[in-house]
Amino acid sequence: MPTKKPRGQYHHGDLRAALLEVAPAVIAERGLHGLSLRECARRLGVSHAAPYRHFADKETLLTALAGEGFRRLVRAGREAMRDLADPRDRLRAYGLAYVRFALEHPEHHRVMFSCEDDGRIAPEDRAAGDEAFELLRETTEEATGLSGGAEMPATLSFWSLAHGLSMLLLDGRIPAEHTATPEAVEALAASVFDRWRG
């Protein structure tokens, strides 16, 4: 039901949004290398050149997808921290949300951190990535009591921890016993974050 397309309609309706929706599905099936604009077009019942009306090229679609991913990550982070008062609990919750996001949206996560930055990222997508970092920085600031730049090493180390764990999980490099069930993963993430001190 993603695309409701009345019989014989020439125009699609919202091809741009449909592309951003179908692309992760293609990536999930065929891998990031296996993604092609033509395949996306095919699945949406649209001609092979139609996507170019909405994205200058394939890379542009990917950066848009990355931007969407960062927006969702920020939303998930805020959601996870919402009812927590203790800044250290909040930071930890963000970390867990980060890892959970990577596992639940592996396609987005991979795209978010694989676009070889040519500097041609749309401002709004650039901003989405910056906001995810800024949210982490503020939370770390509160959790550590550091500020004025002194919080940066703490921020970066916590980010490294969450990011590294996410990547290793996605790459299947974590021994199976720790990834068998969602609870096991959650426990692993918790014990990983326990080894961090602000």
Q: In the window 115-174, what residues touch a second copy (CB under 8 A)?
A: 116-117, 129, 133, 152-154, 156-168, 171-174
**CB closer to DNA, 47 vs 160:** 47
Q: Is residue 175 near a second copy by the rule CB under 8 A?
A: yes
For residue 169, give Cα distances in angstroms to 101, 176, 182, 184, 185: 12, 10, 12, 12, 9
Binding mask 5-24 for DNA (x = CB under 7 A): ---xxxxxx-x---------
Q: Is residue 173 near DNA by the rule CB under 7 A?
A: no
Give the span between the Cα atoms of 95 and 193, in whole angstroms. Answer: 8
Task: Determine whether 111 is exposed, middle or buried from the number of CB atoms within 10 Å of its CB (0-12, 13-18, 19+).
Answer: buried
> What are the structure tokens assigned to 126, written together?
């650039």
Q: Is residue 182 near a second copy by the rule CB under 8 A?
A: no
Residue 188 interacts, among DNA, a second copy, none and using kind-specific CB cut-offs from 5 to 8 Å, with: a second copy
CA 83, 89, 94, 99 dihedral sign is negative
Q: Is residue 120 near DNA by the rule CB under 7 A?
A: no
**CB closer to a second copy, 114 vs 181:** 114
Residue 11: in which H helix or E strand, if any? none
Among 22, 46, 66, 188, binds DNA (CB under 7 A): 46
Residue 33 interacts, among DNA, a second copy, none and using kind-specific CB cut-offs from 5 to 8 Å, with: a second copy
Q: Is residue 115 near DNA by the rule CB under 7 A?
A: no
Task: Please enumerate, as own/partner, the contacts of 24-32 that have beta carbons within 8 Å and a separation of 24 or more.
Answer: 24/65, 24/105, 24/107, 24/108, 27/107, 27/110, 27/111, 28/106, 28/107, 32/107, 32/110, 32/111, 32/114
Among 3, 25, 59, 146, binds DNA (CB under 7 A): 59
Give the span between the Cα atoms of 153 and 150, in whole angstroms. Answer: 7
Contacts with a second copy by CB under 8 A lie at 31-33, 113-114, 116-117, 129, 133, 152-154, 156-168, 171-175, 178, 188, 191-193, 195-198
Contacts with DNA by CB under 7 A lie at 8-13, 15, 35-39, 41, 46-50, 52-54, 56-59
